[in-house]
Amino acid sequence: MLFLISHTIINGFRIRISHQRDQIRNVMYKLGIALKAVHNDCEAEQKMITRSKFFSWALIFNCVMSVIMYTIEGVLRVIRTGDTFNTVITAWPDVHDRSMLSNIGRTVIYITWWIYLTRIFSVYSLVICLTIAVSHQFKNLKSYFYSLSKIFENDNLSQTEKEQEYEKAFKVGISMHSETLKCTEEIQTICREVFSGQIIFNLTLLIVLMYQMMNSLRTFSNVLTLGLTALTILFSTGFFMWNAGDITVEAEGVPVAMFSSGWENCYHESSVRIRKLIVISMSQAQKAVALTGLGIIALSYQSYVSIVKSSYSVFSVLY
């Protein structure tokens, strides 16, 4: 039951992502090259790379350990009780079939299972890296607006030239902000099913795991396997929610960066024109930016806690 539910949902993730390769390439190009052509904060970029590596390796390590524990549990059953080696229950071979052909079939199925799961791990890593890239693009955008005040520190330009240069640069920043919002919308479209499926996946699997833990033998290997599986589910959902929540947090700082870009150094008619531009830009930037799952649940720290609590609440009612 556990694998039937989980494999059905996560296989849908892989199919959905594999059919959106062109859109993913386009978004990655914008986030990695196009939006950084005008301004690239090297510190923010390095933090993005470090964060992407950390979350990807942390997720993969946790997932691999969970799968390894299912392997160890299967081996221990063979040693202790003489059962056949089974990690995934399939229609063929039967779990009690001890023929040579069945053993070969189990080996092939086991290897196929690992290959299948590596593709799933890759999907998770891709989605996490995309959300991290967007959140750090908002950081890069804030850095750009803060840097505009340096235009007025250039002694080689007249006041009029500084104002013209500032206005031109600010309009470029508005264009970058617009493109960043478009990238966020594209990622929402690409990963909509993944975000929604992960919420259902988290709720359902935690309930099944808690039920399994209550009704299974209290052996060390069994408890460790179920515990690692539960942690894998919690971590995978948490990584989604954490990094998607960072997009909302970083986007909220863009209006402040716009306001602190140095508009007060403009005078007379230029000041009036710039202030109108600033007000309109800030009003647009103050609109909340959030990725959602199931169309209504904003991916954030608070919603993650609520989802975990809901799983336990449902289980306590049913059990």
This prediction has a pTM of 0.88
Half-sphere exposure of 172 (CA within 13 A, CB side): 17
Using CA atoms, how far apart are residues 113 and 111, in angstroms rounded to an integer?
Answer: 5
Using CA atoms, how far apart are residues 32 and 14, in angstroms rounded to an integer?
Answer: 23
Q: Helices marked H in the chain — which ranges?
A: 2-18, 21-32, 42-81, 100-147, 159-215, 220-252, 254-259, 268-285, 301-318
Using CA atoms, how far apart are residues 144 and 194, in angstroms rounded to an integer?
Answer: 32
pLDDT at 20: 93
pLDDT at 87: 86
Task: Find, among 87, 170, 111, 139, the residue nearest to 246 by Cα.
Answer: 139
Domain boundaries along the sequence of the chain: 2-318
pLDDT at 43: 92
pLDDT at 212: 83
pLDDT at 26: 96
Answer yes or no: are the C-beta atoms of 97 and 84 closer than 8 Å.
Answer: yes
pLDDT at 313: 83
Say which amino acid occupies 262. Answer: G
pLDDT at 216: 76
pLDDT at 91: 85
Residues 118, 124, 126: CA angle, nearest 5 degrees = 100
Ranges of the chain with pLDDT below 70: 318-319
pLDDT at 40: 93
pLDDT at 131: 95
pLDDT at 309: 86
Alpha carbon 171 to chain centroid, angstroms: 30
Answer yes or no: are the C-beta atoms of 294 and 201 closer than 8 Å.
Answer: no
Say which amino acid occupies 312. Answer: Y
